[in-house]
Chain A
Amino acid sequence: MADLGYAALVIALGVTVFATLAPLVGLRWKLPALIDGARNGLWAVTALVTIASLALLYLLATNDFKTEYVYQYTSSDMSLSYTLAAFWAGNAGSLLFWAWTLSVCMALVLFQHRAKNRELMPYVTAVVAGTLAFFIGLMIFVSNPFAQMPFPQVEGEGLNPLLENMGMFLHPPPQLLGYMAFTIPFAFAVAALATGRLGDEWIQSIRRWTIFAWLTLGFGVLAGAQWAYVELGWGGYMGWDPVENAALMPWLVGTAFLHSIMVQRRRGMLKVWNMMLIIFAFNLSILGTLLTRSGILGSVHSFSQSSLGPLFVAFMAVSFTGSMALLYYRLPKLRAEHELDSWVSRESTFLVNNLVLVGIAFAVFWGTMFPIITEVVRGEKITVGPPFYNQVTGPLFLILLLIMGICPLIGWRHASRDNLVRNFLYPVAFGVAVGIILFLLGVRKPAATISFAVLAFVTAGILRDWSRAVRARHQMRAEGWLRAFLRLTVSNQPRYGGYIVHLSVVVIALGVTGSMFYPSETTATVKPGDTISIGRYSLKFEGASEYQTQSKQVLASTLTIYNGGDYLGTVTPERYIHRNHDNPVTEVAIRSTLKEDLYVIYGGKNPDGTATFKVKVNPMVMWIWIGWGVMLLGSAVAFWPEMKRWTA
């Protein structure tokens, strides 16, 4: 089976190299058969990479420990679901997953465009095939998922215990999908530049793919945050680790692109800027894959070191310089069709929004790379951790939220004084009122108070705009409230899907603000029967126990929780020691409410019978996960095929 998988990859490499070159040769020498051949070749690549992927899944499922990848990431005591999830646990499997999903997406693109965009498609085919050739080449020459062990093995090393969590299914696949999916908009952008067809057609072709890339990457980032929160056991969800940053950068640039593309569609402006954004988003996705898999920057995510780094850098150099050179060549054809009429217009707020989004992405990039720069310049290692990012990006995120509230309230082209007063009065008043009330209630940290006030303003602005339109529909068309709301929403899914996404950002920001500014924690070493107090909570340590399972030793503890004397229940924070891994894995106990999380970390039992616990109260964290769900809903509304007929 390993031979079959490897052979499929070798053939796929040959076909992708052909599919990269054939369209270009076919266009140059007017040989349509070559262009058709390249398209058919990519269908074949999809089949071949699917065969290779199924072969790896089969090897994993059957515990074929002769295969090095299976030996490294699985063991016979693992459940089938985690055994199959090992597909994306290591370098070679992740590369195969990347190539597989890209080949499947490309097949979908070929199907969608079977009878349209005939000028663009040969270039799209060449770019995607070139990217596939790179990833398949890496598997064949550097990181082969089908490599065999020099000696037969009867048992595997097993999955890193940190990866044995639901997050293993929710975080890496969407994140890798998000990275991969930016290839499609990038390919269309390059095709538009190469052909000079820089009108609306390429923009329309990529809208859904960009939302898909943005959604899956965003989903992956939040799933990773949730995973870190429940599994890493330090009580936070964002450590500003290089790999977390790597996912954030293309997502932020993709967010900027999704906004500025509206200005291009509506006003024919920002054409050069949009090209640059999609070029950066793709290259940052490649950088993200590199940082995740190369180990060039220390990270909790880099589960192995590899020699992939220089090859990724070479690929990025080619894709970045090539696409930027094309952009330079086409600059004369990318002039804006309209001018900006006024500073006080939606277009200008989009410009500021883009500036801040790209600014945050740059700040994250800079912080991630600064340790390397310092080491080169000063010869000394430094750390760039959470305090840096919180201080640098915190104010920028606040400005971004403010713009998010302002933008929908300002009209296109030129907003009159009446427009501003009419649209801003109530949201601003609501935001200020919320700020004052919170201040009076004791929320006195300036950044937190301002943040909550801004969030109130954004929410009021969105809901006011939405409710006015629903009310108008209800009155003018005599539709019931619910019907008017639903029909209005589906009458313009991109707009109202966007509003839902904005609301989700508000909900997430609510959770981030609360948990960032008002956490509390205590560490205590106690004996059975003792009580730990934190805020209104009392936690009585009932006792500790140990037991053995097939794969790990479990150290468990039980605590009874009281809130101001009221019994709330028991929690059992644990630690696991996996048979193949020295470091214990923390299994925290979390008692979540909308108001706050009680987060209990078991530090272990001491020789004198006492046990050490770290207990945290993290306010409003649950809102982050609620916002995650709302974001998914909003993206689905924007992504779903438009149902305008239903509203007629």
Chain B
Amino acid sequence: MDSLRRLLGIIPVAVLLATAPAPALAASADRVNEIASQLVCQCGCGLVLNNCNHEHCEPRDSMLAYIGQALDQGKTKDAIIASLVESYGEVVLAAPTKRGFNLVGWITPFAAIAAGGGIVYLAVRAWMVWDRRTREEAVEIAADDPYLLRVDDELKRYEERMG
């Protein structure tokens, strides 16, 4: 059923692609570029649509022409992208949509970092020495590093001299 719906969806876009004039778009190049930057060229180069640099790239040229023509017809960016997804599938999008299973793709990195942060927090709390005595003894630099002690000493003497 999905395949049939997709096939039916391809027809209007295919007609548009076939009849679209190659360059000479009336739509603003910036608008076309903005939409193209969210799509992937389907020639197999794997690049974002407006970055494909193949000399005679039929998929790129027809997709760009379609975007220009659809903009001229007053279609919105979302509608243009939706019709291209209908034709090519989600693989045409340069990034996954933010719904359904794809949401897992967007959320997981941040969830992992949040989980990692939680683990770090718990680990640090377990490490922490709340003992007042220890905190009083704590110093700003490691006492066993002769280099830092020397630099600190020089800085202290320098700052005393400077007042």
A interface residue numbers (CB < 8 A to B): 232-236, 239, 241, 266-267, 269, 298-300, 336, 339-343, 348, 351-352, 355-356, 358-359, 362-363, 366-367, 370, 373-374, 377-378, 380-388, 391-392, 396, 411-416, 419, 468-469, 471-473, 475-476, 491-492, 495, 521-523, 525, 575, 583-584, 586, 601, 603-604, 612
Q: Does B16 contact A (CB under 8 A)?
A: no
Q: How far is the CB of B147 from chain A (nearest CB, A)?
A: 5
Name which of A267, A340, A396, A612 has the most chain B CB atoms within 10 A of its CB.
Answer: A340
Nearest CB of B to A546, in Å: 13
Q: Which residues of B contact A (CB under 8 A)?
A: 23-24, 29, 33, 37-38, 40, 44-48, 51-56, 89-96, 101-102, 105-106, 108-110, 112-113, 116-117, 120, 124, 127-129, 134-135, 138-142, 145, 147, 151, 154-155, 157-158, 161
The chain A residue sitting closest to B151, CB to CB, is A469
Q: Which residue of B lies closest to A411 (CB)?
A: B140
The answer to whether B151 and A241 touch across the interface, beta carbons within 8 angstroms, is no
CB neighbours of B46 from chain A (8 A): 239, 241, 298-300
Q: Contacts A239-B47, A385-B48, A387-B94: A469 and B105 contacting too (C-beta < 8 A)? A: no
List 30 A–B pairs whose Cβ atoms lie within 8 Å, in order of A's numbering: A234-B48, A234-B51, A234-B52, A239-B48, A340-B124, A355-B113, A355-B116, A359-B116, A363-B112, A366-B108, A373-B105, A374-B96, A374-B101, A381-B89, A381-B90, A381-B91, A382-B93, A383-B93, A388-B94, A388-B106, A392-B106, A392-B110, A411-B140, A412-B142, A413-B142, A469-B154, A475-B158, A583-B54, A603-B53, A604-B55
In the complex, which residues of chain A have a beta carbon less than 8 angstroms from the beta carbon of B90?
Answer: 380-383
Q: Is the CB of A523 within 8 A of B29?
A: yes
The reply to whether A583 and B55 contact each other, CB–CB distance below 8 Å, is yes
Chain A residues within 8 Å of B145, by CB: 266
Contacts known (A232-B53, A339-B129, A374-B102); A362 close to B109, Cβ less than 8 A: yes
Provided the pairs A411-B140, A472-B158 are in contact, do residues A492 and B147 lie with their beta carbons within 8 angstroms? Answer: yes
Contact in complex: B158, A476 (CB < 8 Å): yes
Indicate which residue in B89, B110, B147 contacts A380 across the interface (CB closer than 8 Å): B89
A sample of 14 more A-B contacts (CB under 8 A), given A236-B51, A300-B47, A476-B154, is: A239-B46, A239-B51, A341-B138, A342-B128, A359-B109, A366-B108, A377-B101, A385-B95, A388-B94, A412-B141, A472-B158, A476-B157, A495-B147, A583-B55
Query: Hey, which chain B residues are within 8 Å of A612, CB to CB?
Result: 23
* Among A241, A267, A352, A472, contact of B154 (Cβ-Cβ < 8 Å): A472
* Of listed A232, A367, A383, A386, residue having the most chain B CB within 10 A: A383
How far in angstroms is the closest Cβ of chain A from B60? 11
Cβ B109 vs Cβ A336 within 8 A: no
Nearest chain A residue, comparing its CB with the CB of B45: A300
Chain A CB within 10 Å, residue with most, of B23, B109, B127, B155: B109
Select B94's contact among A383, A469, A492, beta carbons within 8 Å: A383
Which of B47, B141, B142 counts the most A-chain CB atoms under 10 A from its CB? B47
Q: Name A391's closest neighbour in chain B (CB-CB).
A: B95
**Which chain A positions have C-beta within 8 A of B120?**
351-352, 355
Chain A hits for B89, CB < 8 A:
380-381
Q: Which of B24, B96, B108, B158 touches A382 (beta carbons < 8 Å)?
A: B96
B105 near A366: Cβ-Cβ < 8 Å: yes
Nearest neighbor of B155 in chain A, beta-carbon distance: A472
CA distance A388 to B40 in the complex (A): 13
Q: Complex: how many Å from CA A299 to CA B90?
A: 18
Q: Are B40 and A414 closer than 8 Å at their CB atoms?
A: no
Across the interface, do B140 and A336 meet the contact criterion of CB distance under 8 Å? no
Q: Is the CB of A362 within 8 A of B112?
A: yes
A-B interface, 7 closest residue pairs, ranked by CB to CB distance from nearest: A411-B140, A234-B51, A363-B109, A414-B138, A359-B113, A385-B94, A387-B95
Report chain B residues within 8 Å CB of A382.
90-91, 93, 96, 102
Q: Is the CB of B158 within 8 A of A336?
A: no
> Within 8 Å CB of B52, what residues of A?
234
A388 pairs with B112, CB closer than 8 A: no
Residues of A within 8 A of B139 (CB): 411, 413-414
Q: Collect the chain B residues with CB atoms within 8 Å of residue A355's CB.
A: 113, 116-117, 120
Which of A374, A377, A471 has its CB near the most chain B CB atoms (within 10 A)?
A: A374
In whole angstroms, how far apart are the Cα atoms of A384 and B37 in the complex? 13
Most chain A C-beta atoms within 10 Å of own C-beta, residue among B37, B47, B48, B53:
B53
Return chain A residues, CB-CB under 8 Å to B127.
Answer: 269, 336, 339-340
Report Cα–Cα, A469/B106, bound state, in Å: 45
Enumerate chain B residues within 8 angstroms of A525, measured Cβ to Cβ: 23-24
Partner of A387, one of B38, B154, B157: B38
CA distance A562 to B106 in the complex (A): 45
A236 contacts which chain B residues (CB < 8 A)? 51
Partner of B95, one of A234, A366, A384, A475: A384
Q: Identify B55's interface contact among A241, A340, A378, A603, CB under 8 A.
A: A603
Known: A339-B129, A384-B105, A523-B29. A473 touches B93 (CB 8 A): no
Query: Contacts of A234 on B, CB cut-off 8 Å?
Result: 47-48, 51-53
| A386 contacts B94, C-beta separation under 8 Å | yes
Which chain B residues lie closer than 8 Å to A396 at the CB level?
Answer: 113
Complex alpha-carbon distance, A141 and B44, angstroms: 31
B54 to A235, Cβ gap below 8 A? no
Contact partner of A367 (CB less than 8 A), chosen from B24, B51, B55, B105, is: B105
* Complexed CA–CA distance, A468 and B139 (Å): 20
The chain B residue sitting closest to A385, CB to CB, is B94
Task: Provide the residues of chain B in CB contact with A411, threshold 8 Å.
Answer: 139-141
Task: Quote the shortest CB–CB distance from B87 to chain A (angstroms).
Answer: 14
Distance in angstroms from A454 CB to nearest chain B CB is 19
**Complex formed: what's the CA distance from A362 to B112 in Å?**
8
Q: How far is the CA of A47 from the CA of B52 in the complex (A)?
A: 46
Contact B124 A351 (CB under 8 A): yes
- Smallest beta-carbon distance B22→chain A, Å: 10
Instruction: Report how far A363 CA is from B90 CA in the complex, Å.
Output: 21
What is the distance, in angstroms, from B151's C-beta to the closest C-beta of chain A? 5
Q: How far is the CA of A515 from the CA of B95 in the complex (A)?
A: 21
Q: Assess whether A392 is in contact with B55, with CB atoms less than 8 Å apart.
A: no
Contacts of B96 in A (CB 8 A): 370, 374, 382-384, 388
Q: Is the CB of A469 within 8 A of B109?
A: no
Shortest beta-carbon distance, A615 to chain B, in Å?
Answer: 11
In this complex, what residue of A is CB-closest to B159? Answer: A472
Of all chain A residues, the one with the shortest Cβ separation from B56 is A604
> Which residues of A are found within 8 Å of B155, using beta-carbon distances?
468-469, 472
Complex Cα–Cα for A339 and B125 (A): 10
Question: CB-CB < 8 A to A358: which residues of B?
Answer: 116
Q: How far is the CB of B32 from chain A (nearest CB, A)?
A: 9
Q: Which residues of B contact A377 (CB under 8 A)?
A: 101
B1 to chain A, nearest CB (A): 14
Contacts of B142 in A (CB 8 A): 266-267, 412-413
Residues of A within 8 A of B45 (CB): 300
A492 to B146, CA, bound (A): 11
Q: Chain A residues near B138: list those with CB within 8 A.
A: 341-342, 413-414
